[in-house]
Amino acid sequence: MTATNSNSGHVPAIEAKQVHKAYGDLHVLKGVDLTVEPGTVTVILGPSGSGKSTFLRLINQLETLTGGEIDVDGEMIGYRWEGEGKKRHLQTLNDKQVAAQRAKLGMVFQKFNLFPHMTALQNVMEAPVQVKRMDKKEARELAIKELQRVGLGERLDYYPAQLSGGQQQRVAIARALAMQPEIMLFDEPTSALDPELVGEVLSVMRSLADEGMTMIVVTHEIGFAREVADQVVFMDGGKVVEQGGPEIITNPTSPRFKEFLQHVL
């Protein structure tokens, strides 16, 4: 584990430095460097198995780094500096400290993972009450606001089985937003949806981008990347192959990115 201690004034929302992840002999990420500025949308594109989802899971500490460093708001995830001078060293965080770091991040997965026995409202209320110890009345008001924010104000008392896939994913987004994160991570949020339901989820994500939410989105939705992204990153083989503004979708420079786009456009 390498680490630096930055004291510069400018603090990116997320900064990954030479991030590696291996499972035994399988090297999934091979030195990923990436900076995400506050209030911007970064879209990560790439073929299956390129390490995109693993990278998101590392940011949210659902996986542990093999090497390198990820900073969120200037704070190294998973570790903290302790001691002074020559005794200064990195100390692994305990579960409570990790949870405090993770609270800055909201994550939306491919699968909705809603509690089937709870209504949309109850699903969104659950984490603020259980994790943040929020008063139930306050949590209910917050959950209603977030469900209205994703266009489901009329579906508060519906159970997941009574909702379409797109509506369930919007409940999952509302659930993440109810924790009031500073940064949202989306791991292929539309890949499990029927094609006609994709648009309603992307519309919610566009509105979040318009509100200035810092977002990292792993997706195959090229149109969304072209329209909404401030930064587009193409990954393949566990590495960042090309990155830049959305114009790189129209004018890719690497042969591998050109080949990828020919298959998905």
- d(CA 193, CA 103) in angstroms, rounded, equals 27
Q: Is the pLDDT of residue 3 over 60?
A: no
pTM metric for this prediction: 0.92
Every domain of the chain and the residues it spans: 14-264
pLDDT computed for residue 86 by the predictor: 78
User: What percent of the chain is modeled with pLDDT above 90?
Assistant: 82
The candidate with the shortest Cα–Cα distance to 227, out of 205, 246, 199, is 246
Q: What is the pLDDT of residue 88?
A: 75
Q: Which residue has the tokens 């999952």?
A: 172
- Side-chain half-sphere CA neighbours of 245 within 13 A: 1
CA 204 vs. chain centroid, Å, equals 15
pLDDT higher for 111 or 88?
A: 111
Write the pLDDT tens digit of every residue in 165-215.
999 999 999 999 999 999 999 999 999 999 999 999 999 999 999 999 999
The predicted structure's pLDDT at residue 9: 63
Question: Is the per-residue pLDDT at 87 higher than 60?
Answer: yes
Q: Give the pair of three-digit tokens for residue 34.
A: 């990436």
CATH of domain 14-264: 3.40.50.300
Q: What is the mean pLDDT of residues 27-50?
A: 96
In this predicted structure, the answer to whether residue 4 has a pLDDT above a threshold of 60 is no
pLDDT at res. 24: 94
120-130 and 165-177 helices, crossing angle to 10° = 20
pLDDT tens, position by position, 112-139? 999 999 999 999 999 999 989 999 999 9
Nearest of 33, 20, 9, 22 to residue 241 by alpha carbon: 33
CA dihedral of residues 129, 41, 219, 48 (deg, nearest 10): -100
Q: What is the pLDDT of residues 147-161, one digit of tens each?
A: 999 999 999 999 999
Residue 37 carries which side chain, given as an amino acid letter?
Answer: E
pLDDT at 7 over 50: no
Average pLDDT over residues 221-242: 97
Q: So what's the pLDDT on residue 203?
A: 96
Band of the pLDDT at 2, cuts 50, 70, 90?
very low
When the pLDDT of each residue in the chain is averaged and rounded to a whole number, the result is 93
Overall average pLDDT of the 91-96 stretch? 85
Sign of the dihedral defined by the CA atoms of residues 126, 129, 131, 132, in that order: positive
Stretch 83-110: mean pLDDT, rounded? Answer: 86
